[in-house]
Amino acid sequence: MNYLNEFRNRTVVTGFAERIRQLTAGRSEPMTFMEVCGTHTMAICQFGIRSLLPPQVRLISGPGCPVCVTPNSYLDRAVAYCRLPDVIIATFGDMMRVPGSSTSLMEERARGADIRIVYSPLDAVALAAKNPGKRVIFLGVGFETTAPTIAGSILVAAAQGLDNYFVLAAHKTIPKPMAVLAADPELRIDGFICPAHVSAVIGAGAYGFLAEEYHIPCVVTGFEPVDIMQGVEMLARQMLEGKSRVEIQYSRVVKWEGNKKAQEVLSRVFTPCDADWRGIGNIPGSGLEISAAYAAFDAAKAIPVEVEELREHAGCLCGEILKGKVAPDDCPLFGTTCTPEAPVGACMVSSEGTCAAAYKYGR
Ligand code: SF4
């Protein structure tokens, strides 16, 4: 339990709480810090971090859950593919219950569609190798953490000469939406708790422009209570000193330059593209599409399909929640019409969704 107990030590956590309280004492204006990682959102709720902070420090959740930020149009296309007779859809389990415009993959599987839950994109490659008469489409959803493994699966499929493995890619990169939110005058973000896993790949240096151009303090923070409390203290200190720089609290994992190998695999297979984010809209250069050299593996290009007309879920505030403008409690459907058992929106489905976290730990 080394490296776990130490980072959950009650005395250390309350020590940080006291230092933060002393630092912010006498402030009338609250400091607003946003986390942009679903695992942080879950950890903040699970460990009751908000209850340890003084009223001057406000934590809000941003677009940190990759499943949640994936728009309905992507789900609708996946559903259209699963209805083709020679297609097997392979996906991580968290996509199964996300509602598209009129149905979910779970419902489609109950109606007979061949949809398999896999634990690695390489399982999907193996599925394609075992089923030469079928087209296997892997649902490529995730940030910079997940994208290298999916890029790797395309490289493996290419090396094996497979012509029936495809990826429906909706990968997104985190720094650009952070800039959009940083510039939003309604939010007035005073600091970012930068993601841990993503930063292990892209490196803390990727947030430098937020500190320089937007003058927002950034701290790459780990997931344990001690990590988060220390990250908040570091943000508060920067703010009170009138500084804006990128700091690494999670130095046992994250380096300034990131993981060069993962970055190299990413840039071999993917190129930047514009991407639609649920709630935020289209952000130029914030997505990753399969590059021309590997276009044969790109389901969106290689397999035409008719997709149903897009519909949003009436009353669901996921879009505003993903921008940090409202909290789950502000949604009239939270905990009544919308629950993890019967989710209306993606934020209640995903294990990293803000509404799911609030439902599980905050009620
Ligand atoms: Fe959408 Fe449900 Fe969250 Fe409301 S509680 S915003 S309906 S996911």
**Mean pLDDT value of segment 299-308:** 96
Which residue among 65, 313, 338, 360 has the greatest number of ligand 1 atoms within 8 angstroms of its CB, and so is best to mutate? 338
Mean of per-residue pLDDT scores for the chain = 96
Residue 312: pLDDT over 90:
no
Ligand 1 contact via 239 beta carbon (within 6 Å):
no
- Give the residue from 121, 113, 57 showing the smallest Cα distance to 91: 121
CATH architecture of the domain with range 31-363? 3-Layer(aba) Sandwich (3.40)
pLDDT at 303: 98
Residue 304: pLDDT over 60:
yes
Alpha-carbon span 282 to 296, nearest angstrom: 25
Ligand 1 atom nearest residue 354's Cα: 3
**What are the angstrom distances between the C-alpha of 360 and each of 42, 69, 268, 318, 340?**
9, 20, 40, 17, 9
**Mean pLDDT value of segment 209-235:** 98
Q: Which residue has the tokens 């629950």?
A: 339
pLDDT at 4: 73
Residue 133's pLDDT band (boundaries 50, 70, 90)? very high
Cα 342 to ligand 1 centre (Å): 11
User: In the chain, what's the furthest Cα-to-Cα distance?
Assistant: 69
**Mean pLDDT value of segment 233-262:** 97
Ligand 1 contact via 347 beta carbon (within 6 Å):
yes
Residue 363's pLDDT band (boundaries 50, 70, 90)? low
Alpha-carbon span 154 to 290, nearest angstrom: 9
ipTM (interface pTM): 0.99
Ligand 1 contact via 67 beta carbon (within 6 Å):
no
CB 352 within 8 A of CB 322: no
Residue 1's pLDDT band (boundaries 50, 70, 90)? low
**Mean pLDDT value of segment 84-104:** 95
Alpha-carbon span 127 to 71, nearest angstrom: 27
Cα 348 to ligand 1 centre (Å): 6
Residue 2: pLDDT over 90:
no
Residue, of 363 and 75, whose pLDDT is higher:
75
Residue 207: pLDDT over 60:
yes
> Residue 302 contacts by C-beta under 8 Å, 6 or more apart in sequence?
166, 295, 296
Domain ranges of the chain: 31-363
